[in-house]
Structures are given as structure tokens and as C-alpha cells.
């Protein structure tokens, strides 16, 4: 029974946490690709930027949340989303729009976004310092231990407050995005532009507006993902280093340009990571007596060591692309 609890804590909960963060990040990547047709490498740094805005605001007003009983960082999240959305629109105006106006190839925009990534990372580092910082400035991270009502289950299921918020916010964001894309006039226009930009223009859709809306949504979602990740662990200026590859893997695995694919891809990559580093020895331990005596179980039976976690998304990416080149959902092909 304790082994099952261990599995729930280390795979189900941990995988859902990572999966949710990757999913929200990947939605942004996939939306930007479907509207502007380029891989936006600065996306992970927009996530860091969002988290950094929350850190700044929380440091300025550390007690803002205590009166209503939620972490201050969460109270600051909407404001940080707005700031990150503004940053995204600003970056587009300053760097990507002039390039688009020249009719450059997508690869030029990709390289441009690499430049933006370095610039953003440098700027954040300049103000935040290089070390990690907790987003819990004045308040304390609640940890819930749920004891299971079974005999022999001594270890509790452990879930933290930010993880619960993460699940709720992810669900709300995904449902809101679904409603927006399928019910609203602007959302449908966004899908139309993703399908066929020339025809969208010929229908009177102002493509500049759609581009701006895409950046607002992608920026807002990036702030959510970055903040919730930083709440779960800590804020670091180089968070993007650990996020960039997984969220691109998630977007591609799901099928580029496909928001639901990005969600599925996020969870596939998230769970693959946690399953790969999970120590399977723990689950086999109860059956130790029934195993042949010559079979000595190694104490660590994980596929890869935790330090190699970052290679897992890469492996998944290659495997999916070999097996299904357009991703799980039928996506576009990146040129």
C-alpha cells in the first residue's frame, strides 16, 4: 500500500504538475506557430519573465494575499499576465513585425527569437540576480497530507497548495481557450487565419489584430506557467533552460498548430519524464519474496538518472516523429 502511495506521489501528482506546465507553455508555442508560422524560441523566457513579474510585485506588496487567505504571488498573477502580454506584444512590434514586413523566411524569425531569448534572460538576470528565490515572500507554502483510509497505508498522499492551484488554473485556462476558439468571433477568426491567412484577409479579418491577440494569449499563458512552476519549486532566472526543450517537444508531439495536441503533448512529455526517473524498485519490493533468489534487485531501477531527465523529452520527440511525423493530432509541418 505504501508503494502505491509512493507511486501516486512521485508519478501521478508529479507528472500532472509537470504535464500541466508543459501543456500551458506548449499551447502558446503552438498558437504562435499557427498564426505567424515560426518557432518562437523566446517563449520559455516569457514564462520566466511572467514569474519574475510576480516575484517583483510580491516583494513590493508581500502582505496583499494574507488578508484573503491565498498566496500573495497568486493575487499578483493577473497583473503579471497583463505585463507579460504587454511584453509579448511589445517584442512583436519591436523585433518580429519589422522582419515580417520584409517578408523574411521563417528561419530568420526563429533566429530573431533566439536573440530575444538571450536579451530577455540577460535582462531578468540583471535585476533578479543569478540565484533561486521563493515566490513565498511573506507567506508559507501549505502542504496537505492526505492519509488513505486503508489498512497498512501509513504514508500519506502529499500535495502542496501551489500544485492544487496549478490543477485548477490549468483546467480553467484550457476550458476558457476551448470556448474562446470555438465560440467567439475572434477565436474563430484566429482559427481561420491559422488555416488560410490570405483568405482570412480576403474575408475582411484584420490580421494585425489577430497577431496581437495571439501574443496576448500566449503571453498570459506563459506568465501562468512560469509563475505556477516557480511557486511549486523556486524562481530562477534560467528556468527557461529546463522549459524550452520540453515545451517544444510537447507542441511537436501533439501536432504543431493544434492547441489540443499541445495539451496532450504536454502531458505525454510530463509523464514520460516522471516515469523515466521513477525508481521501479519500489513497486517490485512487495514481490521480493516471490522472486527467484538469484535475481538481485538493484536499489535504483529507474530508466534514467534524475540528472538526465532533460533528455527524455528529446527521446519522446524523436520517437513520435519517427512513428507519426505530424504528431499525435494532425499538425502542420515545420519548415
Tell me which residues touch another protein (CB under 8 A).
185, 188-189, 191-192, 194-196, 198-207
The nearest distance, CB 168 to another protein, in angstroms, is 30
CB of 188 to another protein, least distance (A): 5
- Residue 330 sits at φ, ψ, to 5 deg, of -70, 105
C-alpha cell at 189: 477568426
Residue with Cβ nearer another protein (30 or 194): 194
Cell numbers given for 305: 538518472
The number of angstroms, rounded, from the C-alpha of 246 to the middle of its chain's C-alpha atoms is 8
CB-nearer residue toward another protein: 204 or 298: 204
Residue placing its CB nearer to another protein in the complex, 200 or 251: 200
Rounded distance, CA 111 to CA 116, Å? 9
Cell of 9: 506521489
CA 29 to chain centre: 10
Rounded CA separation 222/324 (Å):
27
Query: Given the complex with another protein, which of 208 and 293 has the nearer CB atom?
Result: 208
Give 140 or 183: the residue with its C-beta nearer to another protein: 183
Measured from the CB of residue 194, what is the shortest distance to another protein in angstroms? 8
Minimal distance in Å, beta carbon 195 to another protein?
Answer: 4
Neighbours of 309 (CB within 10 A): 18
Whose CA is closest to 34, among 161, 171, 206, 213?
213
Rounded Cα–Cα distance for residues 217 and 92 (Å):
13
Q: Which is nearer to another protein, 203 or 300 (CB)?
A: 203
Report the distance separating Cα 22 and Cα 247, nearest Å. Answer: 5
Complex with another protein: residue 142 or 195, whichever CB lies closer: 195
Please report how close the Cβ of residue 209 comes to another protein at its closest, in angstroms.
10
Q: At closest approach, how far in Å is the CB of 265 from another protein?
A: 18
CA dist 232 and 296 (Å) reads 37
The residue length of the chain stands at 335
Tell me the closest approach of the beta carbon of residue 170 to another protein, in angstroms.
24
Amino acid at each position: 500500500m505504501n508503494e502505491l502511495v509512493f507511486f501516486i506521489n512521485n508519478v501521478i501528482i508529479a507528472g500532472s504538475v509537470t504535464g500541466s506546465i508543459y501543456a500551458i507553455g506548449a499551447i502558446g508555442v503552438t498558437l504562435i506557430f499557427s498564426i505567424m508560422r515560426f518557432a518562437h524560441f523566446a517563449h520559455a523566457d516569457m514564462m520566466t519573465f511572467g514569474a519574475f513579474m510576480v516575484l517583483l510585485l510580491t516583494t513590493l506588496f508581500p502582505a496583499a494575499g494574507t488578508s484573503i487567505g491565498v498566496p500573495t504571488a497568486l493575487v499578483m498573477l493577473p497583473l503579471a499576465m497583463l505585463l507579460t502580454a504587454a511584453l509579448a506584444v511589445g517584442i512583436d512590434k519591436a523585433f518580429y513585425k519589422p522582419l515580417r514586413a520584409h517578408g523574411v523566411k521563417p528561419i530568420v524569425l526563429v533566429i530573431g527569437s533566439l536573440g530575444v531569448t538571450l536579451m530577455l534572460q540577460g535582462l531578468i538576470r540583471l535585476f533578479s540576480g543569478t540565484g533561486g528565490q521563493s515566490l513565498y515572500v511573506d507567506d508559507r507554502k501549505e502542504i496537505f497530507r492526505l492519509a488513505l483510509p486503508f489498512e497498512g497505508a501509513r504514508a500519506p498522499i502529499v500535495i502542496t497548495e501551489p500544485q492544487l492551484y496549478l490543477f485548477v488554473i490549468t483546467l480553467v485556462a484550457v476550458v476558457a481557450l476551448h470556448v474562446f476558439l470555438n465560440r467567439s468571433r475572434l477565436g474563430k477568426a484566429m482559427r481561420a487565419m491559422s488555416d488560410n491567412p490570405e483568405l482570412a484577409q480576403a474575408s475582411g479579418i484584420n490580421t494585425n489584430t489577430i497577431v496581437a491577440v495571439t501574443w496576448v494569449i500566449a503571453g498570459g499563458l506563459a506568465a501562468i506557467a512560469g509563475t505556477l512552476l516557480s511557486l511549486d519549486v523556486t524562481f530562477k532566472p534560467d528556468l527557461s533552460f529546463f522549459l524550452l526543450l520540453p515545451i517544444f517537444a510537447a507542441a511537436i508531439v501533439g501536432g504543431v498548430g493544434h492547441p489540443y495536441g499541445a495539451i496532450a503533448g504536454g502531458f505525454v512529455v510530463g509523464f514520460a519524464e516522471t516515469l523515466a526517473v521513477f525508481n521501479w524498485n519500489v513497486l517490485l519490493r512487495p514481490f521480493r519474496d516471490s522472486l527467484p533468489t538469484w535475481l538481485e534487485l538493484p536499489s535504483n531501477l529507474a530508466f534514467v538518472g534524475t540528472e538526465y531527465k532533460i533528455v527524455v523529452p528529446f527521446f519522446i520527440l524523436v520517437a513520435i516523429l519517427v512513428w507519426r511525423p505530424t504528431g499525435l493530432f494532425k499538425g502542420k509541418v515545420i519548415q
